[in-house]
Structure 1
Amino acid sequence: MTRAEETSGEALAQADALARADALARAGALGRADEIGRLARGTLLPSFSGARVPGWLQDELEKGLGGVTLFALNGNVPSTDALRELTAELGKAADPIITIDEEGGDVTRLGGHLTASPYPGNAALGAVDDPELTRRVYRSLGAELAEVGVNLNFAPSVDVNSAADNPVIGTRSFGSDAALVARHAAASVIGTQESGVAACAKHFPGHGATVEDSHLGVPLVDADLDLLDRRELVPFRAAIEAGAQAVMTGHLNLPLITQGVPATLSHAAITGLLREHLGYQGVIVTDALDMQGASGAIGIPEASVRSLLAGADLLCLGPREHHESLLAVLAAIEEAVRSGRLPLERLAEAAERTRRLKEWLNGHNAGVVDRSVGLEAARRAVRVTGDLRPLGTDPLVVELESMGNIAVGPTPWGLSPWAPDAVRAEGAADEAGPLLERATGRDLVIVLRDAHRHAAQRALTTALLQARPDAVVVEMGLPFWHPDGAVHLATYGATEANGQAAAERLGLTPIA
């Protein structure tokens, strides 16, 4: 750490100390219970249903609620116009932090999961490996968020995807090389924040080496501090140096660091690693606390208290955690303060960091949307192996079914918007015969998505290629499985931009 960084850190520490002292003074002057409630509310990001602000939420915002997290599956994003109206309504009650999980790529919310993203995801950007292009993509994505009133984006994912069978990161990562991920972590943070939207690097201290989904359990990261410094923490250092306004914790078990406690609830991870080891002074946000990895054994109210004790500043409660959950969490936090378990100054410290984030947001202007950069990036990411020739006028496109994980959701994908005849297949062995018959005398295109993770996709593809070695294989996930001898096209993602880029290389045209 440089002397300038040390001086900056000392100044921030002094500001935090003053804020804590001020909060303690106000607690005595204004009534301790009222101040505890206001400070506790300031740490919370609940969710709600629909595209209008419910009365309870407006009341809570007026009482000091930190903000909200928007979820497409809650009906918060029926359209961009509706979202713009919703955020304007939220802003009338207070000055809330309005967050969403919009990574571009396969994890997209702006279209309410009804349409795929016009921007390729991190895997495609990493394949191109042009940090300036990544910066432009995230700058445009940030401008789209600013236009609809979102001011904190839960992106980028800066996980180093070192486990090929990772069930939840995959194409959300820039790649498996820590230095490459770090280059693009910095570029994506800078691009987002150039549009006046705060970036949130995730999932600290790194979800890329796991083979379990933290929505469903507590994934293991078997790494000591030396390995973390060489791999997982490299992109987080880059994001911090680029000025990331927020960092999100992951519900990860690092037994050599946290002794079995999920990182989101671990003082060793949040205060020890992130605050002290990396020197981060910005806002620390939790991943959704309704996930099994955080609250499965203890419940959301207790997880909230423990994450605050660990050093988190803003708590994302989850998509189903509305007013009743908010009240339960508030009661737990207030009781922890009254009992002496949770110091009031810890809440005051979180409130000061949140205040500085809001100050930053109010001092930045929105950028300019440029969707053309999405298609440019998708085109540059396409990789072809073998002799790809133009298709005939009547190809059969077979898309092998592959559901997205919980983070991705049911976003549409594939080449059907550009294919006159496209069919979805489940991957069953008995599907090969009918598909080959339907493809008689026609070109055959087989579209996969993360085939390395799906034995049924690989088996059906192999059966089809045995009869039709001239078929073209298109992989719209990570291209870790490559059938021998086949012409292979990799897109590194399944967004609208990725699909169009693949269709262009195949000679397909949009369906009228």
Structure 2
Amino acid sequence: MAIDPGLRRLALRTLLAAFPGTSAPDWALDLLADGLAGHTLFGTNVGSSDELSQLTARLRSARPDALIAIDEEGGDVTRLGHRTGSPYPGNAALGAADDLDLTRQVYAAIGADLATAGVNLDLAPTVDVNSVAENPIIGTRSFGADPGLVARHTGAAIAGLQSAGVAACAKHFPGHGATVTDSHLDLPTVDVPLPVLRERDLPPFAAAVAAGARAVMSAHIRVPALTGDGPATFSRAALQGLLRDEYGFAGVIVTDALEMRGAAGAAGGIPQAAVAALAAGADLLCIGAEVDRELVLAVADEVAAAVGDGRLAVVRLEQAAARNADLAAWAAHQRITRPAATTATAPGRTAVTVPPAPGRISATVPPAPDRIPATVPPAPDRIPATVPPAPDRTAATVATTSAAPGRTAATTSAELGRTAARRALLVEGDPAALAAPLVVQLGSGYSIAEGKLPWGLRPFLGAVEQIDVNAAETSADELIARAAGRPIVLVGRRVHQAAASRELAEKLAAAWPVAVVEMGWPSTWRPDGARAFLVTHGASLASAEVAAAALGLITERYDGV
């Protein structure tokens, strides 16, 4: 069947594509000119600051209102800092510090970095409540395990990000925090009654709507009580019934990457997943990272064909395209009306002016006219959209300001990151007493969301020796012999979850002066005999620096430039 060119163009207006490399190939530009909504950037697209700015300018030259999206969460998921680590601690650290003004400032700084780079849609914050400690894909990307805390910080993060003129996208609706399966690899199931979902997982999304989030991302998770046998991305009950009708969300519903097994596997392919997502109520379809021209056109043609054969109503496709156009217009307006940011020396880095709020910030943000409502009256027995602040908290004492004379924008970013990381650092024992140690980093692998991101204390060690080991292939006796009388600092992520790492730490602590630095999701586990135990709540560059400082290892300040 011949594809109607008009329907193909309409379908393109619902798609976020991607491409490899630090310069856009011709096909990526041509599709923008043909109506493609935009592109998602990944770490492989991010070179130097100038290269990134040139790339986004080139995309806008093909379509001035193109949506240019990125996963920039800070902490363990960063694209701007994919070569070095993020200068900002992630959500788990911000939740541990539990200062809403500090969260707002960090996200405002992230937003300013993105705006400088020419990015207008951040696929962040992650607002999942990490209620299962073994969660393989959320973990430190979450503000915490308490729904109220996560909801409060959700509002602060969205306020900060959008104050910089970058659209926020709260993810992953209706909540990916209770899973033990990565939806990149399979379709996770959260088999709980709706009252549990409402009490545990949904408060942050209500807070996101109340804060004026421009977008919400759907999760490729199955919640039988809500979505039936399929994922939320394909569920009209979840996207239309719950998110739009009940919570009053009027912005753009973005899908998680359709290439993921939780979507493509459930639908029988990426093009089929696109049709199912649109029919359920999604507006902006993130195809994924492995994308070429042929795949984009295959998806667009399948959507157009679905309209032709009745699987998808044309009015639904038009509605999705119109919402995406509204988001693009908002982003373009922000770029025009906001003052130009200071040029930075690091990729996408800038100084930002964020006036500290007196006391506590509100979770509600006034919307632009005819945009997302800032308040949503709760239905009877529903969770309220406005989340009260925690009692007895004080605002952060550090405000982010424009770079002072002689200071670079990257320096001010690093200072803000260090401040937040210090507030989150948990120190037990006396780590500084273990002078001149051997640092041992335990290999932990990487999630698909993180990518192969550098982490650990190495950038701050100077002459201090570090070795990287696989716990399953290393014995405590071997490490003690290598230490040659020196104490040992053991650095890892989720040390307690891997049997080999846990056993190695326990044997070392029982026999030798040892400090443990946990840079993953925290637990109550402590190896008996450890002289010190540090919890950073994430593996950002900032978190590594403050841990190294607490251990007395830093000889000179690292400013992230």
TM-score where L is the length of structure 1: 0.90
Would the alpha carbon gap of residues 428 and 33 (structure 1) be closer, same or farther in structure 2, given more than 3 Å must change? closer
Aligned to 1:97: 67
Residue 45 of structure 1 corresponds to 16
The CA distance in 2 between the partners of 1:430 and 1:359, in whole Å, is: 56
Give the corresponding residue for 1:412: 454
**Is there any run of 5+ residues in structure 1 with no aligned partner, and where?**
1-31
In the alignment, the residues of structure 1 paired with residue 515 and residue 29 of structure 2 have an alpha-carbon distance, to the nearest angstrom, of: 54
- Map 1:103-502; keep pairs closer than 5 Å: 103-111=73-81, 113-297=82-266, 298-364=268-334, 365=338, 368-369=351-352, 370-371=412-413, 372-392=415-435, 394-419=436-461, 420-428=464-472, 430-468=474-512, 470-480=513-523, 481-486=525-530, 487-502=532-547
CA distance in 2, matches of 1:80, 1:439: 41
Deviation at 1:272, TM superposition (A): 1.4
Return 343-352 or 145-154, whichever deviates more.
Answer: 343-352
Identity of aligned residues (%): 53
Cα RMSD after superposing both structures: 1.5
**Please, which runs of 5 or more residues in structure 2 have no aligned partner?**
342-350, 353-411
CA apart distance, 1:391: 3.4
Render the CA deviation track for 1:199-258: whole Å, top value 9, x for unaligned. 000001000000000000011112222112111110001011001000000100001111
Shift of 1:387: 3.6
How far 1:441 moved relative to its partner?
A: 2.3
Q: Deviations over 1:85-138 (max 9, x none)?
A: 000000001120000111110001013x21111000000000000010000000
- TM-superposed CA distance for 1:471, in Å, is 1.2
Q: Which amino acid aligns with 1:436?
A: I
SS in 1 for 2:4: helix
Q: Which amino acid aligns with 2:542?
A: A
Whole-Å separation in 1 of the counterparts to 2:8 and 2:331: 24
Q: 1:428 & 1:314 partners in 2: Cα distance?
A: 44
Q: Distance in 1 between matches of 2:292 and 2:50?
A: 23
Match of 1:70 among 19, 23, 41: 41
Structure with a larger share of its residues in helix: 1
Provide closer, same or farther for how the CA distance between residues 300 and 504 of structure 1 changes in structure 2, counting only shifts above 3 A. same
What is the deviation of 1:456? Answer: 1.3
Deviations 1:438-467 (A, max 9, x none): 223222211121113211110111111121
The 3-state SS of whatever aligns with 1:363 is helix
Aligned counterparts of 1:400 and 1:329: Cα–Cα separation in 2: 42
AA paired with 1:456? A
CA distance in 2, matches of 1:510, 1:155: 35
TM-score (norm 2): 0.83
Which 4+ residue blocks in structure 1 deviate beyond 6 angstroms? none
- Give the match for residue 402 of structure 2: none
Contact residue 474 and residue 488 of structure 1 kept, 8 A = yes
Q: For residues 279 and 247 of structure 1, what CA distance do their matches in structure 2 show?
A: 12
What is the CA distance between 1:296 and its match in structure 2? Answer: 1.4
- Asked if 1:33 corresponds to 2:9, the answer is no
Tell me which amino acid in the other structure corresponds to 1:478.
Answer: W
The 3-state SS of whatever aligns with 1:296 is: helix
Q: Could you tell me how far 1:485 is from its partner in structure 2?
A: 4.2
TM-aligned CA distance change 1:485 to 1:430, over 3 Å: closer
Distance 1:379 1:254 in 2: 38
> Residues 208 and 276 from structure 1, CA distance in 2 versus in 1: closer, same or farther, beyond 3 angstroms?
same
Any idea what the Cα deviations from partners look like across 1:263-304, whole Å, max 9, x if unmatched? 111111111111112111100000000000001141000000
Higher mean alpha-carbon deviation, 237-246 vs 267-276, is at 267-276
Answer with 364-373 or 336-345: which moved more: 364-373
Q: Distance in 2 between matches of 1:127 and 1:101?
A: 22
Rate the CA distance shift 1:386–1:347 in 2: closer, same or farther, 3 A. same
Query: Which letter maps to 2:289?
Result: P
Q: Distance in 2 between the 1:311 and 1:156 partners?
A: 21
Contact 1:80 1:110 in 2 (8 A): no
Pair 1:506-2:551 in alignment: yes
Q: CA deviation at 1:429?
A: 6.0
CA shift at 1:409, angstroms? Answer: 1.2
Compare 488-497 and 424-433 and name the one that shifted more.
424-433
Q: Relative to structure 1, is the Cα distance of residues 92 and 437 closer, same or farther in structure 2, using a 3 angstrom cutoff? A: same
What is the CA–CA distance in structure 2 between the aligned matches of 1:69 and 1:373, rounded to whole Å?
Answer: 27
C-alpha distance in structure 2 between counterparts of 1:315 and 1:429, whole Å: 43
Say which is worse superposed, 167-176 or 458-467, in terms of deviation.
Answer: 458-467
Counterpart Cα distance in 1 of 2:554 and 2:495: 25
| CA shift for structure 1 position 50 | 1.7
The question of whether the paired residues in 1 share the 8 Å contact of 2:432 and 2:550 is answered with: no
CA shift for structure 1 position 44: 0.3
CA deviations 1:146-194 (Å, max 9, x no partner) are 1010000000000000001100000000000000000110000010000
Q: Deviations over 1:65-98 (max 9, x none)?
A: 10011112xx311222211100000000112000
1:510 is displaced (CA, Å) by: 4.9
- Alignment-derived partner of residue 387 in structure 2: none
